[in-house]
Amino acid sequence: MIAFFIGNTLMFSFGAVGGAFTGKDDIFYVMIAQGLLIPALIVLGANIWTTNNNALYTTGLGYANITGSTRSLWFDRGHHRNSWSPVALEQLCRLAQPAQRHPTPIGAVLVADYFARCHSYMDLGSNEPEVKWAPIVALIAGALTGWLTPGFGIVSINAMVVAILVYFIGGAIERESVDERGYSGRQRAAIEASATAGNGANLLIKGVRIEDGPAGVDIRITDGKFAEIGAGLAPREGEEVRDYTGKLVLPPYIESHVHLDTALTSGQPRYNESGTLFEGIEVWSERKQTLTYEDVKDRAGRALRQQAQFGIQYVRSHVDVTDPDLTALRALIDLREELKDSMTLQLVAFPQEGIESFPNGRDLMRRAAEMGVDAIGAIPHFEFTREYSVSSLNFAVELAQEYGLLMDVHCDEIDDEASRGLETLATRALEAGIGPRVTASHTTAMHSYNNVYFLRLVRLLKMSGINFVSNPLVNTHLRGASTPPEAPRASLA
């Protein structure tokens, strides 16, 4: 957008100056008057190409915004099939001749739609209807206003004002037609039909392949549960038969580490400009001040729906409990209950700003355990001192044992080789005999440990039997910002 304005400003400026001296009203003729025939032809060709290209692309973009379509047809026409441009442009010009006298307010509708729904433009998990009628009706209303009131005020402004008003009124009506989860009537019907098939259903699925097994396997589901797997199963009375011959059947995916309370908050209230973990925590701390129950539940619900679309059915989410009101935790506990028949959601009490380093950190962790979290977390590398780090881990282990909970610790997610919370966590797990119930996440400081210490640590880790969850996608971005390029980079991530 900035490049567009700069480029056009320069073009108009050069054209104006050249026109003042040559008397020509087009930069093409100005360049010819200066003896620049070849550059003039290049500019003309590039202008024709980009104008047609952008016109078709913008048309497709407007179509996609109004209808909610994500198909690539219009994009392809705009970018890869410019041989169509002269024909398409001619047809568009013919259709636009009446509109040149009374222009349609499509720009006003697109701008209004952006400001009303910009938060969901990149949200694949949002429940958007296939066709959004509010902008279409607004466009028609605005166009009719321009056509029917040619002698009243400024026609284009009349059309835009009416279009914007109709858009927001229609949008309000559309929102009233969806339920609290954002589903329309048709979507609710589809979900209910799916639930009927999955809960208490008697199905016989024919001819599938299970992972690397042989093809032609049948699966019997009785009362919503897998009852029998084998070849050539005969249908029973009252059993629905579905033929999926040749289809591959896989178990659902597992999301082992996510923060649903922070989902879909990029840029709120600002972006992490340094790209470091610590600024990221600062930004989240600012965003946390504006959390509401509805805000967390809505965003987390949309993120979970997106994960379900990708085949994920088991999710472990860390939830920040360094909040006196425990707003996010309350929302996610309720969401866990609502989704229990279709998705397993584990919640980890995660002290984002520390246990010992945050006011009443221990009390908040205990309250979270009492509210019903599934696991206890910690963040030793973020505590103020080494002593606080060890104390926080000791407390977390004792709290998990007291309530019979799992453990999942953000451990040593830093480039500092002096961050060694992992040895404390592994030792306490070994002493308590709870290694298989303990998980260490991230552990990126390991890439900075010296070899002698690392070898001693590996022995302890094997003895403890604790689990690890690596997060390479996030840590390739958050790690190394303060590490010299020649430093070793091998780690668990």
Give the 3-state secondary structure of residue 195.
Answer: helix
Give the 3-state secondary structure of residue 375.
Answer: strand
Q: Look at strands 217-222 and 225-230 and give their pairing.
A: antiparallel
User: Are the beta carbons of 447 and 489 closer than 8 angstroms?
Assistant: yes
User: Are the beta carbons of 345 and 336 closer than 8 angstroms?
Assistant: yes
**What backbone phi and psi angles, to 5 degrees, belong to 243?**
-95, 110
Q: Name residue, tokens 């040619």.
A: 150
Measured CA angle at 230 (ends 225, 236), to 5 deg: 65
b/e map 76-92, b = 16+ CB within 10 Å: ebbeeebeebeebeeee
Q: Name residue, tokens 């229990």.
A: 340
List Cβ neighbours of 397 (8 Å cut-off, separation of 6 or more): 407, 425, 428, 429, 432, 434
Give the 3-state secondary structure of residue 393.
Answer: helix
> Which amino acid, residue 447?
H
The answer to whether residue 338 is catalytic is: no
Q: How far apart are CA 40 and CA 63, in angstroms?
A: 34
Could you count the other beta carbons within 10 Å of the beta carbon of residue 244? 14
- List the structure tokens of 182: 């954002």
Burial of 492 (0-12, 13-18, 19+ CB in 10 A): buried
| Cis peptide, bond prior to residue 251, ω within 30 of zero | no
List Cβ neighbours of 265 (8 Å cut-off, separation of 6 or more): 284, 287, 299
The backbone region for 208, taken as left when phi is positive above 0, alpha when psi lies in -120 to 50, beta otherwise, is beta
Q: Look at strands 312-320 and 253-258 and give their pairing.
A: parallel
User: Are the beta carbons of 480 and 275 closer than 8 angstroms?
Assistant: no
Q: How far apart are CA 163 and CA 426, in angstroms?
A: 64
User: Are the beta carbons of 326 and 290 closer than 8 angstroms?
Assistant: no
366-369-373-374 Cα dihedral, nearest 10 degrees: 120
Sheet holding 253-258, edge to edge: 253-258, 312-320, 344-350, 375-376, 406-411, 438-442, 467-469
Question: 353, 356, 413, 423: which is the annotated catalytic residue?
Answer: 413
Which residues are catalytic, by number?
413
